[in-house]
Amino acid sequence: MTEIHDVPLPLRLGLVDLFYYDDEEIWLRDGNLLLRGNNGTGKSKILAMTLPFLLDGQLIPSRVEPDGDPGKRMEWNLLLGGQYQERLGYVWMEFGRDHEGTPEFCTLGCGMRAVAGRGAPERWFFITPQRVRRDLRLVDGNGRALSRDRLLEALGDRGELHTSSMQYRARVDERLFRLSPQRFEALLNLLIQLRQPQLSKRPDERALTEALPPLDQAVLNDVADAFRNLEEERNTLDGLNEARASVGEFLQHYRGYCAVAARRRAQAVRQAQNTWDKIGADLRETAQALTEAEAATAYEDRRQEFLDLKLRQRRTQLQTLRDSPEMRDAHRLKEAQARVAECRRLYRTTQVKLERLISDTNREEARLAAERQACAQEREARRQDLHAWLEPARVAGIANAHDGALAPLDLPDGGPGLRSSSDLAIGQAAEVVRFQIQRRTEAIAQVRGLIQALEAAEQGERRDRKRREQAIEQMERLDQDRVQAAEVVDQQGTALVSALRHALDANRELRLQDPEALLAELEDWCQTLSGDNPAQHVLRQSYNSARDRLRSAKDAAEREHQEAQAAVSALKEEQGRIEQGELAEPPIPYTRDPEVRKDLEGAPFWQLVDFADSLSADQRAGLEAALESSGLLDAWVMPDGTLRDGKTWDRMLVPTVPAAQNLQRVLKIAIDPKDAAAARVEPETLAGILSGIGWGEQAHHAWIDGAGRWCIGPASGAWGKPERGHGSTGWPADNPGTRMARRSKRPGGARSPPKP
């Protein structure tokens, strides 16, 4: 048993009346199948009749059988080599997946009916979500397989029936894989190649390559363009790497500069950030304190409410007690005691106030005496200070402005009021003197600063004059250098234009659309030197185009040379074979023993005929391809046109029913009289064989055409080749008589068999 996954996996497969199986069901585990058994037990048959046959839908032995043996046909799996005259069977496989929790199933199957003597079996395919043995029965109550009509009734509207393998293959791709037809075909071809027995011992790289889809031409063009531009991109990459190294060196210095500049510019930001952090910390502390205060306030509010409630209760109790008669007497007694206590307290208070007034009077008198002495000392000190200030004022010539300040010093000491006025005048005079001194000091400092600034300006003016003279001299030198450089640039520009003109005239590979316009643009650029050199980009493009063109021409010449060498080698080999009297022969099939024709009378078909002169080269190649693919080219013709008795292990040609349009129109009899074995074949016999094979598609049982297609009884096919290459049908058209003159020189006309 296997689990249901979300992708389609094979769950079961079965065979009904096929090979030696009656009604067999085989389970797979997780999409894997392991078959064990001795040789001949049917392991390969199960795989051949299930995968990839149920995906491909073709009964060709090369696609059904793992070894590709054309002798193993599908009808043998039904009739078992003559044990049955008629038999009908089925092969089926069930796929399943889990789609959003719901199991989904898809069953692929093929029904086949074979009748002895009728060749390939009749087949039909079905696709249904029904499950075999559960929803769908492929056998009736008597154990016989259902016919196609009964299967169609059993499917009903829950399945589809196909008779075309192409339509069936497209529906399988749509239901299970959803690939394109080309990709699905490539997948099937790859599966067929990979399942070959002993693939690792004899791998066929060509077959595996052909099983894969070809690359898109656009992808090949992109790869070719990428290879062409690889050198230019490598140079660009080298330049970018150099620029990157230079930028890296510059960045090492610039990072230090940027770090210093950023640190300087970020100093204010860091200070602001520090201030912000400090304010934030204070704010957080304040917020925390506020939170704690709010919590304490809330607690105190609750406690206050509780105390208020208790207070109201106590007041109510107190008021109740006060309103009682006992308390009224107690109140009167307490009031009398209170009046007595109040009188005593008032007496003590009055006595304390009297003592305090006496003490305050004594202190005020002592303080007044001390203040008078201090005022006299301060007055004398200010008079001395004023006289000390007046002397520098007289020296400075501003003493007249302070004459009024001396008057208060001569006031008599007539009392506290006079001393206060004198002190005030002295203070004002001192302030005026101090202000005048400060102003004159500032003026002197300003004059000194102006003198220093004048001296610095004179020094700077001398330096600027000297730098100006130096700059004028340097500018004159630069003007001379500029004139000389302009002359050199003109000379170099003229030389560059002349060199480019000479290079364009001498070089034949650089192709420019308008050389004169490029030269004129280069002359203008040499005058201005603005932007990039215009000739550099144009010449690089022309160089790249010439390089690619020469590479393509070189590759084409090498290919043509190799093809020519191969053609010369082939012609030399063909010339040698012609000189030795040998003919190009078709390869010997592995179904025929090379020794079977050693002593046999007659000749192969290709040695007895030649192309008609009216056929073109393409028709000759297609005709030879059809003859070789169908096996007629190397078939043996007996002299009398009869079949040899017994098992010949060979292909024989005999006259048959004539066709309306036959090979006598395109092939002519060319029997070499020098070849004894071929000369015994009667022309009438060969003419009967040619008339029995039709030319072009028709209702006759055997026909071929010039496009490489053929039909021999129930078998049909097609093949193509670029040119003819065997025997009489392979000689060049300009030497039609060469084949008649070249024969094997062995006695009796017998040819040595070629190497397979």
| Distance (Å) of CA 179 to CA 54, 96, 172, 331, 357 | 17, 18, 10, 117, 123
pLDDT digits (tens, 9 = 90+) for 103-134: 899 999 999 999 988 888 899 999 999 999 88
**b vs e for 61-85, b when ≥16 Cβ sit within 10 Å of the residue's Cβ?**
bebbbeeeeeebbbbebbbeeeeee
Spell out the SS3 assignment of 400-448.
HHHHHHCHHHHCCCCCHHHHHHHHHHHHHHHHHHHHHHHHHHHHHHHHH
Q: What number of residues does the chain have?
A: 756
Count other C-beta atoms under 10 Å from residue 470's C-beta.
Answer: 10
Q: Cα 99 to chain center, whole Å?
A: 30
Count of alpha carbons within 13 Å of 653, Cβ hemisphere only? Answer: 28
Q: In the chain, where are the structural domains located? A: 9-178, 583-749
Cα separation of 410 and 387, whole Å? 13
Contacts of 355 (CB under 8 A, 6+ apart): none
Q: What does the pLDDT read at residue 581? A: 60
Pair 185, 154: CB distance under 8 Å: no
CA distance 29 to 127: 22
Q: What is the pLDDT of residue 212?
A: 60
pLDDT at res. 14: 92
Buried/exposed code over 668-702 (b: 16+ C-beta within 10 A; e: otherwise): bbbbbeebebbebbeeebbbbbbbbbbbbeeebeb
Cβ of 539: how many Cβ atoms within 10 Å? 18
Strand partners, 609: 669
Residue among 125, 103, 123 nearest 114 (CA)? 123
Residue type, 423: D
Pairing of strands 652-653, 636-637: parallel
Terminal Cα-to-Cα distance of the chain (whole angstroms): 50
pLDDT < 50 stretches in the chain: 413-419, 645-647, 728-756
Q: Map residue 52 onto helix, strand or coil.
A: coil
pTM (predicted TM-score): 0.33
9-178 has CATH 3.40.1140.10 classification:
yes
Residues 6+ apart with CB under 8 A from 26: 12, 13, 14, 33, 46
